[in-house]
Structure 1
């Protein structure tokens, strides 16, 4: 009696469950970096123009006070007194919120991605980049104190002799000199300007990457521009408290 061969059972392939997909974070890192680059450009131009205006202190009290008064009456009568100044302040405040917010999100994401590992072998060229979050915090504190000192005249930050501006007069020169005659405030300003220089040199250098520039030659030229720009703003501002303490501006 012959036997019939049974067909071999062919195992069926098991269904493979699709790997879970992780949704891309919102806003994206590209968007955050572009936001920082754009607002950083605005702030870099602002500190340059602000430094140039501050250097008018060397032209004497009358010229410096006239410049401060002109800022408050700019675009009158189209705008009310201090109207243009408040527009600038609102734009800068919005940019500051966007800049700080984007920076904080990127720092948190970078630390989560890095985990417990830390970079080693850092050299001095990486110092501005390493210190960016810390110089940013110092500058944020300085902005608040600077406004309390020379804009609102809030004591004890501002000097006792602070006089607020009116619609007809400005006392910007006397207020500035009185503030920097206090050596702790002058020293604090100098230290912050060094922090600003470090923040600027790396921030401006990062613009070429954030805006998608990849040419080696252009990146080298821009690195030099960033260094010169940061040095000019830093040293230009530092000369003012030094001149006040030395008695050259009084």
Structure 2
């Protein structure tokens, strides 16, 4: 007799449980980096122009006060008094909110992804990158102090002799000199300019990556330009409190 072949059985498929999936965080890291690059570019151009304007203090009180008054009457009568100035402030405020918000999200996500692991052997060249959150925080505090000191004249941050601008005149020179003649405030400005240099150097360098700059030679040129730009801005602003303390301005 022939052997009976058992019927072929096909096992029923096992029920599968889908793996948990999480969508990409919104906004994406790319969007955050582009936001920081664009707003960082705005700030870099602003601090350069602001520094050039500050250097007018070396031309004397008359010219410096005239420049400060011109900023308030810019684009009149097309815009009302201080209209252009408030427009610039609004743009800077929006950029500041976007820049700080994007940087906080990037830092938080990076720390969550890293966990408890700490990167070692970074070297001094990575110091500006490591200090970016801290230099940024110092600059944020400086913005508030600077506004209270030389824009709104709010005491006790501002000097006791602060003179508010009028529609026909400005005493920006006297306010600046009287403020920086206080050595704690002058020292604060000097320290902040050092922080600004570190922040600008690394921030401008990362623009090369965010804007997709490639090529070793091009990136080396970009790094040099970042160093020169940050150094020029920091030294230009740094010279003013030193000049006031030394009696060269005042």
TM score, norm. by length of structure 1 = 0.97
Query: Could you tell me which residue of structure 1 aligns to residue 91 of structure 2?
Result: 91
In the TM superposition, 1:235-250 aligns within 5 A as 235-250=235-250
Q: Deviations over 1:33-66 (max 9, x none)?
A: 0000000000000000000000000000000000
How far, CA to CA, are the matches of 2:229 and 2:40 in structure 1? 13
Query: Could you tell me which residue of structure 1 aligns to residue 131 of structure 2?
Result: 131
How far, CA to CA, are the matches of 2:93 and 2:3 in structure 1? 91
Query: Could you tell me which residue of structure 1 aligns to residue 37 of structure 2?
Result: 37
Q: CA deviation at 1:124?
A: 1.0
Q: How many residues align?
A: 250
Q: CA deviation at 1:122?
A: 1.9
Q: CA deviation at 1:155?
A: 0.2
Post-superposition, which runs of at least 4 consecutive aligned residues in structure 1 deviate over 4 A?
none
Which secondary structure state, in structure 2, belongs to the residue aligned with residue 87 of structure 1?
Answer: helix
Q: CA deviation at 1:2?
A: 6.1
TM score, norm. by length of structure 2 = 0.97
Query: Could you tell me which residue of structure 1 aligns to residue 73 of structure 2?
Result: 73
Which secondary structure state, in structure 2, belongs to the residue aligned with residue 77 of structure 1?
Answer: coil
In the TM superposition, 1:56-205 aligns within 5 A as 56-205=56-205
How far, CA to CA, are the matches of 1:73 and 1:190 in structure 2? 30
Structure 2: gaps of 5 or more residues: none
How far, CA to CA, are the matches of 1:2 and 1:242 in structure 2? 109
How far, CA to CA, are the matches of 2:62 and 2:233 in structure 1? 24
